[in-house]
């Protein structure tokens, strides 16, 4: 429904193989077993051996006189705003995850080292298997926008949501402490832990504890879990998200290390999502089990009454969110370009004015080089490239032109004699994987100095011998500014050896503060232009044109 795929798009987005699949490393079962044994298992043991512990809600009955009374309108609003944006964030996050349906603890994303995968595919060892081929289908009921390889639009939803989610959270926490509502969420005594355990033993052994009236205060376990969601899960979600950004990683190298590395940050980001979903399921069940009608009045209209108004309005809010999800789905498959622009206008602008000014640095050492490096993109099928490859690119000439004083054509040897810069850096693919490699090649600044672009030049376009996913010349553009950074090179060397064909021979781009799709492989020519708007479909690159990838640093 709402989708109208061309045959080529159908093959990408709605392939025949839609199998749902999850596989874990065996140790994950051991961890789940240990977690169950030390929680529910221990609770049952205590219950069977010593009986039910005293109900802390009864012993420590807090006088309602000092407790915050009821739910002011800002609590109710931010609760539902949060619900709305969480549903967008989680669903778009799932779509992003399925574009590289594997999670790792190591930076290099070596196949078979993933601790969980959502694909039945075992990576073939006898042929090139690209990351784009590895993307998996996810039902649009679950993912936003769903289907296969819609990472561009999924990122639009994910990143458009973040500023609102963050603002809502900041306003909520500020008002929490400005009023006395913080007393609901923030434990003030260590007693919270034994009390929470007692409550947990009750739940785990199906003995409902006496519920305090949530209009005034929560039970210990409830308080502790709300505290955890607001003050631990939400900040961790933001920080692990940021740890995946190339622009941040390349400048603040220590940052992803807070979580191990980029891939463990991605894994933790996923586990936080699981924790959120687990919380939502338990939270909603408890709300229903402990007096649905009254609880809905608390959080929707702010009264402690037993009429059904809150329930009806609550259902209305949920339905409105569902309707918005349907609208989002329709937009995702009918108004891709507008969505892409919207995201570019918000986040592209923020990004361009902040992190993108930072100069990337190469921090990695030889020992960090990944044993495996995912290949991506279609190998060039053009005869010209194949002939050049057959003779080791001896007859290759890089054409450099456009708005320059001195257009040139340079052989590989001539380029190699000009200058060389070597860096060990991490590649950040938009799909989620990464890899560390050494790259050697000529700084683009040397080429700029040689050809002398006109003063009106803002943008440099790099064209490939290869084609995009849907055919047509693969190209991408960078700001002249970005090209002048010392780490921006045209590489002919990977891991101290000549660049292999599948990684972009004879020349490929490395621009280290950017996502992987901007690093054109199999470069045929370079053009200096006034604007990217006159090239291709005018979005700044092949993936931006055809796959709605982020419009980031283009101006």
Ligand X SMILES: Nc1nc2c(c(=O)[nH]1)N[C@H]1C(S)=C(S)[C@@H](COP(=O)(O)O)O[C@H]1N2
Binding to Mo ion in span 355-414, by CB under 5 A: 376
Q: Tokens 């064909």 sit at which residue?
A: 501
Give the residue from 502, 369, 385 showing the smallest Cα distance to 423: 369
Q: For residues 296, 298, 302 and 307, what is the CA-based torsion angle, rounded to 10 degrees?
A: 60
**CB of 87 or CB of 376, closer to Mo ion:** 376
Instruction: Give min distance, CB of 56 to ligand X, in A.
Output: 53
Q: Tokens 């229903």 sit at which residue?
A: 288
Residue 466 interacting entry, from Mo ion, ligand X, none, C-beta within 5 to 8 Å by type: ligand X
**Token code pair at residue 136:** 């998996």
Residue 503 interacting entry, from Mo ion, ligand X, none, C-beta within 5 to 8 Å by type: ligand X
Q: Are 201 and 53 in contact (CB under 8 A)?
A: yes
Binding to ligand X in span 238-257, by CB under 6 A: none
Residue 202 interacting entry, from ligand X, Mo ion, none, C-beta within 5 to 8 Å by type: none
| Residue 522 contacts ligand X per CB under 6 A | yes
Phi first, then psi: what are they for 322, rounded to 5°?
Answer: -60, -45
Give the residue from 388, 422, 395 showing the smallest Cα distance to 410: 395
Residue 519 interacting entry, from Mo ion, ligand X, none, C-beta within 5 to 8 Å by type: ligand X
What is the H or E stretch that residue 138 is in? Answer: strand 137-138
Size of the site for Mo ion (CB under 5 A): 5
Categorise residue 432: left if φ over 0, alpha if ψ from -120 to 50, beta otherwise. Answer: left
Select from 286, 457, 507, 519 the one that contacts ligand X (CB under 6 A).
519
Size of the site for ligand X (CB under 6 A): 19
| Residue 464 contacts ligand X per CB under 6 A | yes
| Residue 466 contacts ligand X per CB under 6 A | yes
Instruction: Give min distance, CB of 432 to Mo ion, in A.
Output: 9
Select from 147, 276, 474, 528 the one that contacts ligand X (CB under 6 A).
474
The helices-and-strands tally (H runs, E runs) of the chain is 23, 15
What Rg, from alpha-carbon coordinates, does the chain have?
27
Instruction: Give min distance, CB of 472 to ligand X, in A.
Output: 11
Binding to ligand X in span 192-221, by CB under 6 A: none
Select from 328, 379, 429, 499 the one that contacts Mo ion (CB under 5 A).
429
| Residue 263 contacts ligand X per CB under 6 A | no
Residue span 364-393 as binding mask against ligand X, x where in contact by CB under 6 A, dash where not: ---------xxxxxx---------------
Question: How far is residue 306 from each of residues 302, 310, 370, 486, 502, measured CA to CA in Å?
Answer: 12, 9, 61, 67, 67
CB atoms within 10 A of CB 360: 23
Residue 521 interacting entry, from Mo ion, ligand X, none, C-beta within 5 to 8 Å by type: ligand X
Interatomic CA distance for residues 266 and 377, integer angstroms: 23
Residue 200 interacting entry, from ligand X, Mo ion, none, C-beta within 5 to 8 Å by type: none
| Residue 483 contacts Mo ion per CB under 5 A | no
Read off the DSSP letter of residue 212. P
Instruction: Give min distance, CB of 526 to ligand X, in A.
Output: 13
**CB of 88 or CB of 135, closer to Mo ion:** 135
Q: H-type helices in 205-308, by residue range?
A: 220-228, 234-242, 246-249, 254-257, 262-289, 292-296
**CB of 100 or CB of 269, closer to ligand X:** 100
Instruction: Give min distance, CB of 430 to Mo ion, in A.
Output: 5
* Strand-strand pairing, 102-103 and 137-138: unpaired
Interface segment toward Mo ion; rule CB under 5 A; list 115-123, 417-425, 429-437, 527-535: 429-437
Residue span 396-435 as binding mask against ligand X, x where in contact by CB under 6 A, dash where not: -------------------------------x-x------
**CB of 215 or CB of 462, closer to ligand X:** 462
Binding to ligand X in span 86-115, by CB under 6 A: none
Phi first, then psi: what are they for 246, rounded to 5°?
Answer: -65, -40
Instruction: Give min distance, CB of 432 to ligand X, in A.
Output: 10
Select from 80, 115, 517, 522 the one that contacts Mo ion (CB under 5 A).
517
Contacts of 250 (CB under 8 A, 6+ apart): 358, 360, 361, 425, 426, 487, 512, 513
Phi first, then psi: what are they for 28, rounded to 5°?
Answer: -65, -35
Question: How far is residue 551 from each of residues 123, 347, 402, 505, 540, measured CA to CA in Å?
Answer: 31, 9, 23, 26, 7
Q: Are 510 and 519 in contact (CB under 8 A)?
A: yes
- Site residues (vs ligand X, CB under 6 A): 373-378, 427, 429, 464, 466, 474, 503-504, 516-517, 519-522
- Site residues (vs Mo ion, CB under 5 A): 376, 429-430, 516-517
């Amino acid at each position: 429904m709402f989708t109208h795929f061309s045959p080529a798009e159908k093959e990408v987005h709605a392939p025949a193989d839609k199998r749902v699949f999850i596989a874990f490393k065996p140790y994950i079962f051991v961890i789940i077993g240990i977690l169950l044994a030390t929680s529910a298992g221990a609770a049952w043991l205590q219950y069977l051996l010593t009986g039910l512990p005293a109900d802390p809600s009864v012993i420590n009955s807090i006088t309602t006189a000092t407790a915050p009374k009821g739910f002011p309108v800002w609590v109710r609003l931010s609760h539902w705003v949060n619900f709305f944006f969480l549903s967008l964030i989680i669903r778009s996050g799932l779509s992003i995850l399925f574009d590289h349906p594997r999670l790792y603890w190591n930076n290099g994303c070596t196949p078979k080292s993933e601790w969980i995968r959502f694909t039945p595919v075992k990576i073939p060892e006898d042929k090139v298997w690209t990351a784009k081929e590895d993307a998996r289908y996810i039902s649009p009921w679950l993912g936003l926008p769903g289907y296969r390889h819609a990472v561009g639009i999924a990122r639009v939803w994910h990143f458009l949501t973040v500023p609102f989610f963050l603002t809502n959270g900041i306003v909520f926490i500020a008002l929490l402490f400005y009023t006395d509502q913080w007393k609901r969420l923030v434990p003030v005594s260590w007693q919270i832990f034994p009390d929470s355990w007692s409550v947990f033993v009750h739940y785990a052994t199906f003995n409902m504890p006496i519920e305090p009236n949530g209009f005034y205060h929560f039970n210990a376990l409830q308080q502790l879990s709300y505290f955890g969601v607001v003050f631990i899960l939400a900040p961790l979600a933001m920080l692990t998200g940021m740890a995946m950004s190339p622009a941040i990683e390349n400048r603040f190298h220590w940052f992803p290390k807070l979580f191990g590395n980029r891939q463990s940050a991605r894994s933790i980001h996923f586990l936080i999502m699981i924790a959120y979903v687990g919380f939502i399921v338990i939270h909603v069940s408890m709300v229903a089990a402990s007096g649905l009608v009254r609880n809905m009045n608390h959080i929707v209209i702010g009264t402690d009454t037993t009429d059904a108004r809150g329930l009806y309005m609550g259902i209305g809010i949920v339905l409105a969110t569902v309707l918005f999800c349907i609208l989002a789905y329709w937009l995702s498959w009918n108004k891709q370009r507008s969505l892409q622009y919207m995201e570019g206008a918000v986040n592209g602008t923020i990004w361009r004015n902040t992190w993108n000014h930072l100069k990337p640095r190469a921090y990695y050492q030889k020992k960090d080089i990944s044993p495996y490096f995912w290949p991506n993109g279609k190998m060039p099928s053009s005869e010209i490239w194949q002939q050049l490859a057959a003779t080791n690119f001896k007859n290759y000439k890089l054409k450099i032109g456009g708005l320059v004083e001195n257009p040139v054509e340079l052989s590989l040897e001539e380029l190699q004699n000009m200058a060389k810069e070597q860096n060990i850096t991490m590649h950040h693919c938009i799909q989620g994987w990464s890899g560390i490699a050494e790259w050697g090649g000529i700084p683009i600044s040397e080429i700029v100095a040689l050809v002398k672009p006109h003063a009106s030049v803002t943008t440099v376009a790099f064209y490939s011998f290869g084609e995009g996913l849907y055919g047509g010349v693969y190209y991408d553009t960078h700001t002249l500014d970005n090209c002048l950074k010392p780490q921006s090179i045209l590489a002919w060397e990977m891991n101290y050896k000549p660049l292999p064909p599948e990684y972009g021979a004879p020349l490929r781009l490395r621009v280290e503060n950017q996502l992987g799709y901007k690093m054109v492989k199999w470069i045929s020519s370079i053009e200096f232009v006034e604007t990217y708007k006159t090239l291709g479909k005018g979005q700044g690159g092949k993936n931006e044109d055809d796959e709605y990838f982020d419009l980031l640093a283009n101006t």
